[in-house]
Amino acid sequence: MSSPIRVTVWNEYRHEKRSPAIAAIYPEGIHGTLAAALSKHPDMAVRTATLDEPEHGLTDEVLAATDVMLWWGHCAHGEVSDAVVAKVRRRVLEGMGLVVLHSGHYSKIFKALMGTTCSLCWREVGEQEVLWVADPSHPIAEGIGTCIILPNTEMYGEPFGIPVPEEQVFISSFAGGEVFRSGNVWRRGAGRIFYFRPGHESYPIFHNEQVLRVITNAVRYCRPTAAPVADKAPNVPMGWFRKG
Ligand code: ZN
């Protein structure tokens, strides 16, 4: 078997510490729930990192040893160090995969990579969401079938302030009538980025088997396909690539 995909699950990890109701849903934190689910797969080697660790748990050593990073944040985007964001962005350009979840749409790293507002409209009344598979042939939708139905979610609606997705995997509809581009792929440099909408902290979304299947598929899809691509512009002599 080829070497396992080295996954780092990053979580802001604040709601779970402050709210007993949210801690009851995610006793080990959202990162702990996601890491436990991914660790069931023998092709993945999973670690976690959180905001309040030194360097947010994202040291140079951790970044160098990460093939795919998951990112969940919500109430403390502004506390994420710009220096760490710059390092994560550089790793994406080199080829690291990035899976941005739910309220991560407003994270510094996602906005830096998209270059747009990443804004959206929202409502929290616990309504039903249907995540429609827009591209059944896409590897991230493998095993999902027609749709995922989440009985109680926060609504995110268009317009979503993102660049036009390069690959559109899911589109959501909500009980209130809104729609949303909820599973989107972009390339930035050599790295693949997947944004996946579900995952509000006060609902057990990350215990849903289909949601976890999508995230697992996305980790495999976003893994680097080559050695890290360096950012350099060498001055080279004529004919340097010819032999002899
Ligand atoms: Zn939310």
Q: Where are the domains positioned within the chain?
A: 5-118+183-222
Burial class, 238, CB count within 10 angstroms (exposed 0-12 / middle 13-18 / buried 19+): exposed
CA of 26 from ligand 1 middle (Å) equals 14
Measured in Å, residue 175 CA sits from the centre of ligand 1 at 17
With bands split at pLDDT 50, 70 and 90, how would you rate the model's confidence at 243? confident
Question: How far is CA 211 from its chain centroid?
Answer: 12
* Span from the CA of 97 to the centroid of ligand 1 (angstroms): 23
CATH code linked to domain 5-118+183-222: 3.40.50.880
Residues 13-69 pLDDT 10s: 999 999 999 999 999 999 999 999 999 999 999 999 999 999 999 999 999 999 999
Q: What is the mean pLDDT of residues 115-122?
A: 98
- pLDDT digit string (tens) for 175-217? 999 999 999 999 999 999 999 999 999 999 999 999 999 999 9
Residue 167 has pLDDT above 70, yes or no: yes
Task: Give me ligand 1 centre to Cα 154, in Å.
Answer: 6
Q: How far is the CA of 188 from the centre of ligand 1 (A)?
A: 25
Task: Indicate the pLDDT class of residue 1, thresholds 50, 70 and 90.
Answer: low
Which is it for strands 121-133 and 97-101: parallel, antiparallel or unpaired? unpaired
Model-level pTM?
0.97
